[in-house]
Amino acid sequence: MDDWTTSPDRALAQRNAEGWTFLIEAARDLRTTGAVAPSGRALARLLTDPVRASGAATLDVLEAGAGTGAVTRALIPALAPGSRLDVVEANGRFAARLRGLVRAHPLLAGAAQSVRVHHALVEQLDTRRSYDVIVSGLPFTNFAPAQVEAVMDRYLELLRPGGTLTYFAYRGTRLARALTSSRAEARRHRAVEDVLTGYQRRYATGRWTVWSNLPPATVWQLRRPLDTPRPTPAVPVGASR
């Protein structure tokens, strides 16, 4: 089990507390929080598969948009000894909670320095590291197209050649937005999807849907090619520069 709490009661209490924390932050700022509940276990597991697939290899891993740590808790046990994890979170209350998670995690006892929590926007992350795996929880469909492009370009810049990025998108958000929001909002949403399609066409190596997640979500896996020194920025479909 990914939770380190041993008794089922404590694990349930932890999940309930997490659910409330998430809901409160969503009520404060739904645009940045991007969901009303943390990711379920199946989604967290799929997002972190590239780390598990690397077996005993020592990796540098970046998690962006960690929220209450649903994916962080799946990542920590998957890290081989000597690996390093940077966790970046825009919300200060979530970041404080993530620091508590890292301090208390038994698998990190004596090695907590291998996981660092940064309270920052990932596109402004100041790091000299490059990464073998990046796991993104960012709510792209709430962003402006230019911000999505800035984040994706930063991810590709931070990835080592051959490195893997995973991120997810909830299913059905486009239709929901078209039915419930202004035309401008629906247009923005479509433009974000077009930007993401550009990166998927260039770099995608896999796509899976987790129907059991609430709401169901599609996970995308992208790989930075081995032979490109620097990724070329994606041009949104139907757009010109």
Question: In terms of CB distance, is 39 or 166 closer to ligand SAM?
Answer: 39
Q: How far is the CB of 170 from ligand SAM (least distance, A)?
A: 9
Core vs surface per residue 135-166: b (16+ CB within 10 A) or e: bbbbbbbbbebebbbbbbbbbbebbeeebbbb
Asked whether position 139 contacts ligand SAM by CB under 6 A, the answer is yes
- Choose, by CB under 6 A, the member of 51, 59, 62, 71 that binds ligand SAM: 71
Q: How far is the CB of 226 from ligand SAM (least distance, A)?
A: 27
- Choose, by CB under 6 A, the member of 94, 131, 140, 220 that binds ligand SAM: 94
Q: Which amino acid is at 208?
A: W
Asked whether position 70 contacts ligand SAM by CB under 6 A, the answer is yes
- Choose, by CB under 6 A, the member of 50, 60, 62, 67 that binds ligand SAM: 67
- Choose, by CB under 6 A, the member of 88, 169, 192, 234 that binds ligand SAM: 88
Spatial separation of the C-alpha atoms in residues 161 and 230, rounded to whole Å: 9
At what angle are helices 183-203 and 173-180 packed, to 10 degrees?
Answer: 160
Residue 139 token pair: 């709510």
6-65 positions binding ligand SAM, by CB under 6 A: 32-35, 38-39, 64-65
Question: In terms of CB distance, is 88 or 196 closer to ligand SAM?
Answer: 88
Q: How far is the CB of 218 from ligand SAM (least distance, A)?
A: 14
Question: In terms of CB distance, is 93 or 237 closer to ligand SAM?
Answer: 93
| Residue span binding ligand SAM (CB under 6 A) among the ranges 3-11, 120-128, 186-194, 233-241 | 120-128
- Choose, by CB under 6 A, the member of 46, 121, 148, 234 that binds ligand SAM: 121
- Choose, by CB under 6 A, the member of 54, 83, 91, 166 that binds ligand SAM: 91
Question: In terms of CB distance, is 54 or 141 closer to ligand SAM?
Answer: 141
3-state secondary structure the chain: CCCCCCCHHHHHHHHHHHHHHHHHHHHHCHHHHCCCCCCCHHHHHHHCHHHHHCCCCCCEEEEECCCCCHHHHHHHHHCCCCCEEEEEECCHHHHHHHHHHHHHCHHHCCCHHHEEEEECCHHHCCCCCCEEEEEECCCHHHCCHHHHHHHHHHHHHHEEEEEEEEEEEECCHHHHHHHHCCHHHHHHHHHHHHHHHHHHHHHEEEEEEECCCCCCEEEEEEECCCCCCCCCCCCCCCCCC
Asked whether position 74 contacts ligand SAM by CB under 6 A, the answer is no
| Residue span binding ligand SAM (CB under 6 A) among the ranges 8-16, 77-85, 137-145, 225-233 | 137-145
Instruction: State the residues that interact with ligand SAM by CB under 6 A.
Output: 32-35, 38-39, 64-67, 70-71, 88-91, 94, 121-123, 137-139
